Amino acid sequence: MGATGANEAPSLGHAVHTSTQHSPPRASGMQQALRMGAAALAYYLAARLGLLIPYIGSHVSLIWLPTGIALAAYLRWGTSMAPAVLLAAFLINYQIGTPAWAALGIAAGNALGPWLSAQLLGRLGFDAALTRRADLGHYLLAVALGMLVTASNGCVWLRLAGFLTAGQWAPAWLTWWTGDAVGALLGGIPLVAMSRASMRTSFAGRRGRFNMALLGLVLACGLLTFSPWTAPATALTFPLLALPLFLMAVLALRAGVLAASLAVLLLSGTAAWGTASGIGPFAGHDTHAGLLALWSYVTAQVCTGVLICGLAAELLASQRQQQAQFQHASEGIVVVDPEGRLTALNPMARLMLELALKEPPGTPGLALTQLPNGNGTSLAECLQQPAGQPRLLTLCRSDGRRLEVEVQTARYRDARGRQLSQLLLRDVTEGREAQARLAASEERLRAITDNAPALIADHDREFRYRFANRTYQDWLGIAPEAVLGQTVASVLGEAAWAEVRPAMEAALRGEAASYERHIQGRAEERWIHVALVPRRDAAGAVDGFYALASDITPRRRAEQALRQSEQRLRSITDQLPMRVSYVGADERYRFINRAYERAFGRPRHELLGLTVREVIGAGAYGEAAPHIRRALAGETVSFDSEITTREGYRCYRASYLPQFADDGREVLGFVAMILDTTAQKQEERRLIELSQSDSLTGLLNRAGFEQRAHEAVQRCQSVGGTMALLLLDLDGFKQVNDSLGHLAGDLLLRGFAGRLSRSLRGADIVARPGGDEFAVIVEQLSAPADAVTIAGNIVEAMRTPFVLENRSVHISTSIGVVLYRGEPGLTPRDLSKRADDLLYAAKAGGRDRFCIDAAYALNAA
């Protein structure tokens, strides 16, 4: 059978041809040649048989079997059969005296018409098994249309060749079309329907042998009626003509279209052969009348067979469908006769009633009331109920379980006219249990929602309430039943509806939405937070939404109290002379007081949310970062910082106090308190300077000297180099102080201090530790000999008399010099001790001189 646009069709070996939309497998070259030869030979022989009984001239026959052969070849093997059909048609026309050109034209039409029918069948989804009445209808339609081409083409060429007169053209065309159509039905149907599966169905096994016997009877009737050797008596002719029609009907019902069409083909072949031989009831003196009678007989056989096959196919398909539904139905089906005995049970009914599945459907003598476990009595009571009304019934099981079934009764009459009752048993056990579970679940859900401290509601797409819990009664004084079916606007009022409508419309668009609003309850005012959750159907479309309203009055009150507390805190902190802030774990400012505005020149709303680094700058943040990390680790931190700007030098005291979560472990942030200590630091420095200064000479006192000596030693140790420590003592100061008085002594000390400072560099350190003792620290000496030069210069400078008001005083000085090159382990006290020893050595050596370490000991001039 050729598909639309295909060139080939399935081979004869295919069991069932179920679709015309698949191309057949390609055959080998030898197979293709054999197929073309078989098609050409069959076409040629059938054409010779048809030309034995021409109806008009020698070319037009009432029965043209080659058309059916060509159509079957196209359907089975595709367009590749066209050359074989064309060749056979040309030969048969040429042999009966048709000119070659006319024979070729007629042959082209005879090949084209069946091909067009095959193509049309391909488009109509034709099934070659012919098991559907629609397939037979499609076959008749395609044949009728395709034969229009063969008849029109053939008559044109016969007219051109002079074989038809103008008056013969119309009868010849009708005869040609009729003969081709009958031939396509007579020869095409069995060849198209023939397959391995149809052969097994029709002729395999005991049933097949009986069908073969019926086919043999049909052939025998044809031979007895149309054979010269077995010419029957006149009285038997018409019974022999009618009997095959009955036999073909039986074959159609028992074996299907293949066996019935083969019977028609055999009978028609014997009738055509006998009539052409002048034998049989159609071979009278009037040839045309006899041929017309033969055609009518064959046509009646063909049409009757096709009609019966179509009806039988539909009947068998319906029976198979009903049997399949009966056997595989999910409900139990029990058929009971008027005497109350079982006539049929499907497997599901046997399973429900605990009957063996392999027993015959209606166990002989088994009445409905004899079913096991006493279930038959209950079913018998259902037979008394009106048809069509379902009834719930409990079936007992041998294991003690109970089966809840819904029983529905139907009554009908069978082929013998008996009224049968059919019980349809539908197992509703799981459904009833599911309903019970659902009811219990709904009850639990209702109990939960009614006792939940929240408003719970379900709305449809029209904003109507489908469910409301009892909290509506408790909070709003509205009974839940009263709101069902009502719209939100009618329940809450137009003002509230205008407020909540945008959120509810968003929920219907599939978005999760929420809002907060104030409501006036029966006893008190409440603030509620409403969450809207879209509800979707099985297809995923939003068909409504759920509303869950929780009481947030405590939260709103707490927020209000918190805001008031924050306002009080802000009022207090804004008056403090320090920066107060709260920094979260992400190092962003969450709270700042007004001092930040003054410090950074920006409004506080711009600073909130910024990081510490963004506010104080990268440089200051680098100094504060380690302390911030310690605070976020849970440590209370205090530290001093300083900054120098164009405006001046500033000092700060910072304290970070971590804030812990309720668990006492997680740090949420820290409170920062920054106090400007610049004035305090300056005062401290002033006091320190006062405490380290000699009031008489303005030089460093002992405390200042010790501090500077300590710092000088540290610098020498860290950067290297050489420093010198000089201790000086005034020679003869006591005599001046005793002889001239303390005022003269003070003036001498001031003069000595001034001359000593002028003898040194500005970076050198000069101090008066006490009495007439002075000390000098000289750092970064280029060579140790520089210390000798400095000490010598000082001794020399002091030999010049000092003028004390109107008196001139001569004194000298003795110096002990110690050098230090950063040796570890030596302290300023050690150096002072060595210098003091050297000072006493200088005094012991005659004064007015200096003494240095042994390596550099020199006598002053």
The catalytic residues are 772
Contact 176, 205 (CB under 8 A): no
Contact 373, 395 (CB under 8 A): yes
Query: Within 13 A of 729's CA, how many CA atoms are on the CB side?
Result: 21
Contact 694, 701 (CB under 8 A): yes
The 3-state DSSP class for residue 61 equals strand
Distances (CA, A) of 333 to 363, 423, 427, 633, 652: 15, 6, 11, 79, 98
Count of C-beta atoms within a 10 Å radius of residue 453: 9
DSSP 161-192: HTSS-TTTHHHHHHHHHHHHHHHIIIIIHHHH
Contact 334, 277 (CB under 8 A): no
Widest distance between CA atoms in the chain: 197
Q: Residue 362 contacts by C-beta under 8 Å, 6 or more apart in sequence?
A: 335, 341, 342, 343, 344, 345
Helix-strand-coil split of the chain, %, nearest 5:
55, 20, 25
The closest of 603, 674, 664, 613 to 639, measured between CA atoms, is 674
DSSP 469-513: -THHHHHH---HHHHBT-BHHHHH-HHHHHHHHHHHHHHHTT--E
Contact 678, 649 (CB under 8 A): yes
Structure tokens at 602: 């920006």
Q: Residue 833 contacts by C-beta under 8 Å, 6 or more apart in sequence?
A: none
The 3-state DSSP class for residue 332 equals strand
Contact 714, 658 (CB under 8 A): no
Beta bridge partners of residue 582, listed in sequence order: 591, 671
Structure tokens at 348: 């599901």
